[in-house]
Structure 1
Amino acid sequence: MNDLSALSQLRVTAIPRLASGGRWRVEAMRAISEPMFLWFTKGQGRITIAGATRGYTAHNAVFIPAGVMHGFEVGPQVFGTAVFFGRDSTVTLPETAQHLRIREVHAQQEINVILDSLQREMDSDIPAHDRATRHYLGLLGVWLERQAVKAAPEAPKPDAARRLVERYTALMEQEFRKGTGVGEFAAALGVTPTHLTRCCRITCGRSAIEVLQDRRIFEARRMLAETRLPVARIGEALGFTSPAYFTRSFQHLTGRSPTAFRREI
């Protein structure tokens, strides 16, 4: 894919706008097919990446690779910028998720300038704006790499519970549409369901089944909001054994039936 096509997939948006269609769009567990960068400038909340939950506050930078399950709170006082690189981005980016607390004022100012300049060039039609956009994207990748290297000596090493839950969420992202249960996931990971749930509670404060249900119901809401598929077909596509079971599960977790949710959307 050429550079112009890759740039056409690039999106820069204010973090509060991500929740404009409902906070479930950012808070529920899900994965996307492109890398994402979050720069929080105000507010605080919790963010879960690959099953591990941490608090975030102003001047936190978060990078999430494509396909990594995540969800984060976006309260009314949270502000910042999100960059979606597109599926075919050629920017050099970290291979693993990063949650960086940027304490140096110079580094904070630097990323603000990069993001402002990136947005300005994207919105411009002056000559060479596309080339300038590519260069600012490259600078964003360099900034992220340098901050990750700087933070590496202080970053805690993932313990056994976190490593297991990371494997669980990665496997779940591949299999959640098939109706696979926690017992089957645990068996595939070589542990008991009880141990898997214990580790999930340690890393993100929720049980293994709650994480799985959150992922499946997010996908159900997305499909109800963005497609015209019949409710029964959506339930079938997500591995529910019957339309009635899908409706009961959806209503239990959201407080509304699938039909009511779609009507409100």
Structure 2
Amino acid sequence: MSAPSTPSFRLVAIPRLAAGGRWRVEAMRTLSEACFLWFTKGQGRITIAGQTRGYTAHNGIFIPAGVMHGFEVGPQVFGTAVFFGKEPELDLPADPLHLRIREVHAQQELNVTLDAIQRELDADTPGHDKAARAHLGLLAVWIERQAAKSGETLKPDGARKLVARFTKLMEERFRSGAGVGDLAAELGVTATHLTRCCRQTCGRSAIDLLQDRRIFEARRLLAETKLPVNQIGESLGFHSAAYFTRAFQHLTGASPTAFRRSL
């Protein structure tokens, strides 16, 4: 009889996501798996597909795989992040959702489900992995029901639609060295119009979003690999080591080498 497979999904306390530095959650990036953020205390701002809005306690935010996002995690922010795994085999929403859960019963139902998932993940009893998956399925149903009742589907419109297209293209091309003008041309608009729309939807320019994404990846590679600094810069489309160092230091306050040494 084969051993049960280890579940690919997991629950993580939201403060732990920033344990290695707030840049890990605040910078623009995408995930290869869907995630659900359940905030139980605190408030902040979250940007999803170029659209920024506020969140507070008892807000649940669903982010599909491949959607660019970043959110503030202050010292008073608490909650749980659910990562569904790369092949969740669940019927999950195709679009981002922002759920503002005001009913106490619905809040309690979610908390009970999350506790049950974690309890089964931590157990070593027979069938605990199957039980954890079953409770994860109940979470997916809970999200579907709450979305039908009160969810705000973050489907972009007008400027938001353009910025969503920009963030999707940016995720595909940020390593290529393409600039905002290049990406804007591929989208059929001018760089000025694109930047105007970005400022309208999230308060940041198009170049800020692009550089944020590239520098996030640079920090990740510096923290998680032993690749030489110049090789990391080249892999992200920087034409010279000096340009990479200047851009990195401008956004982080430290050179790539100093950042790596600080870890």
Structure 2 length normalisation: TM-score? 0.96
1:255 and 1:160 map into 2 onto residues whose CA distance is 35
Q: State whether structure 2 residue 216 is matched by structure 1 residue 236.
A: no
Report the AA paired with residue 174 of structure 1: E
Report the AA paired with residue 251 of structure 1: Q
2:221 and 2:26 map into 1 onto residues whose CA distance is 16
Distance 1:169 1:4, change over 3 A: farther
Report the AA paired with residue 137 of structure 1: L
1:119 and 1:236 map into 2 onto residues whose CA distance is 41
Residue 179 of structure 2 corresponds to 181
Q: State whether structure 2 residue 118 is matched by structure 1 residue 119.
A: yes
1:138 and 1:123 map into 2 onto residues whose CA distance is 18
Q: State whether structure 2 residue 166 is matched by structure 1 residue 193.
A: no
Residue 209 of structure 1 corresponds to 207
1:156 and 1:232 map into 2 onto residues whose CA distance is 38
Aligned residues: 262
How many percent identity over aligned positions?
72
Report the AA paired with residue 77 of structure 1: Q
1:178 and 1:186 map into 2 onto residues whose CA distance is 15
Q: Tell me the C-alpha RMSD between the 2 structures.
A: 1.5
Residue 70 of structure 1 corresponds to 69
Unaligned regions of 5+ residues in structure 2, if any?
none
Report the AA paired with residue 212 of structure 1: L
Structure 1 length normalisation: TM-score? 0.96
Residue 34 of structure 1 corresponds to 33
Report the AA paired with residue 206 of structure 1: R
* CA apart distance, 1:103: 1.1
Report the AA paired with residue 44 of structure 1: Q
1:165 and 1:15 map into 2 onto residues whose CA distance is 27
- 1:224 corresponds, among 211, 222, 225, to 222
Q: State whether structure 2 residue 59 is matched by structure 1 residue 60.
A: yes
TM alignment of 1:69-218, pairs within 5 A: 69-151=68-150, 158-218=156-216
* CA apart distance, 1:106: 1.1
* CA apart distance, 1:158: 3.2
Report the AA paired with residue 102 of structure 2: R
Q: Deviations over 1:89-118 (max 9, x none)?
A: 112211111111111111111100000110
Unaligned regions of 5+ residues in structure 1, if any?
none
1:246 and 1:160 map into 2 onto residues whose CA distance is 34
Report the AA paired with residue 139 of structure 2: L
1:156 and 1:220 map into 2 onto residues whose CA distance is 29
Report the AA paired with residue 22 of structure 1: G
Q: If each structure's helix is expressed as a fraction of its own residues, which one has the higher value?
A: 1
2:43 and 2:132 map into 1 onto residues whose CA distance is 30
Residue 48 of structure 1 corresponds to 47
2:103 and 2:4 map into 1 onto residues whose CA distance is 34
Q: Deviations over 1:183-231 (max 9, x none)?
A: 0111111111010000000110000000000000000000000000000
Distance 1:166 1:253, change over 3 A: same
